[in-house]
Structure 1
Amino acid sequence: MSIESRLAELGLTLPDVAAPVAAYQPAVRSGRYVYTAGQLPFVDGALPTTGKVGAGDGLVDPADATELAGICALNALAAVHSVAGTLEGARIVKVTGFVASDPSFTGQPAVLNGASELLGTIFGDAGTHARSAVGVAVLPLDAPVEVELIVELAD
C-alpha cells in the first residue's frame, strides 16, 4: 500500500508546510537524506495549545501533549514531502523530540510516543527509528512539544 493510500486510510492529510519563524528552512535534502527543522504542532497555522507539560492546574495534560507530538510528526512529514516530492519508499531513521516540561515532569518518552507510534502506523517497519526525547524549559512560541526527523529516501 502506498504512503498516500495509508494516510487516506487513517483519515490524515499532509498539511501545508509551516512558514519558518526565523532564518532556516523547514527541511533540507542532502543526498538520500532529508533533515527537518523542529516542527511545532501547528494546525491550520496556529498552535492549538501552549505551555508546559505536566500534571496539575495550568499545565498541558501529557495525553494532550502526546497527540500534539503526532501533529508535529505529520508536519515534519509534510516538510519532507516538500523537498523530496514523495514519501514513497522513505524510511524514518531518527526522531528527536523536545517537550517543554514542568520541572517535576519525567514522562517525555511517553509524550514522544505520539510521534513514534504515528510514524510506525504510517510506514510500518520503515517507520521504526532511533529516538531522543528531551525535556526543555521552553520552546518557540511557548509550544508544548517540537519534533524533528531524519528520513532516508528510496533510490
Structure 2
Amino acid sequence: MGAVVERLASLGLTVPDVAAPVASYVPAVRSGAHVYTSGQLPFVDGVLPGTGKVGAEVTPEDAQEYAKLCALNVIAAINSIVDLDSVVRVVKLTVFVASAPDFTGQPAVANGASDLIAAAFGAAGSHARSAVGVAVLPLDTPVEVDAIVEVA
C-alpha cells in the first residue's frame, strides 16, 4: 500500500473506481510530466448524493462535502493512469460551484476539495486553486473539480 492510499485510509477513505464519463471524454490524460483530469462530479457508487444550487437547494456545508467527494474522484482519475505515489506536485485545482445568484462562498466550498488533496498528498498536495461560481453544472450537480498534477 502506497503513502497516498495509507493517508486516505487514516481518514477512513479508500480510492474508488474511476467514475464513468458522462459524455465523450476520458477521466484523465497524461502529457509528459503532467496528468490533467476531466472535471469530476461527487459520484458515490455512480449516484450523485445531491443536486441543485449552493445557497438555494444545497447548503454550503453539504457542498463542501460534495467537493471532498469530487476530490476523491479526482484521485481515482489520477490513479487510473499513474501510481498515486508518482505525484510530485498537485499543481492546480479548479473547483466549479453551481451557485445561487447571491452566493459568494465558493472559496469555503472549494476547501473541501483542497483539504482532502492536501491530506492525501502531504507536502506535494499544496496547490494553486480557482474557485468559480457558475449558473449550472452537468446533471445539476452542485460541485465539479478538476486537477493538474506533476508526476515523476
The TM-score with structure 2 as length reference comes to 0.95
Written as runs of structure 1 = structure 2, the 5 A alignment for 1:70-85 is: 70-84=68-82
Q: Following TM superposition, by how much is the alpha carbon of 1:102 offset from its aligned partner in structure 2, in angstroms?
A: 0.1
- What is the CA-CA distance between 1:107 and the residue it aligns to? 0.4
Match of 1:4 in 2: 5
State the shift of 1:89 in Å.
3.7
Q: Which runs of 5+ in 1 are unaligned?
A: none
User: Identity of aligned pairs, percent?
Assistant: 67
Matches within 5 A, 1:36-115: 36-54=37-55, 59-84=57-82, 86-90=83-87, 91-115=89-113
Unaligned runs of 5+ in 2: none
Taking the aligned partners of 1:123 and 1:83, their CA distance within structure 2 comes to 17
Match of 1:124 among 122, 125, 128: 122
Distance 2:45 2:59 in 1: 22
State the distance in 2 between where 1:71 and 1:98 align: 13
Quick check: 13-22 or 142-151, which moved more? 13-22
The answer to whether the Cα contact below 8 Å between 2:5 and 2:120 also exists between their aligned partners in 1 is no
Moved over 2 A (4+): none
**1:121 partner letter:** A
Cα displacement (A) at 1:3 = 1.2
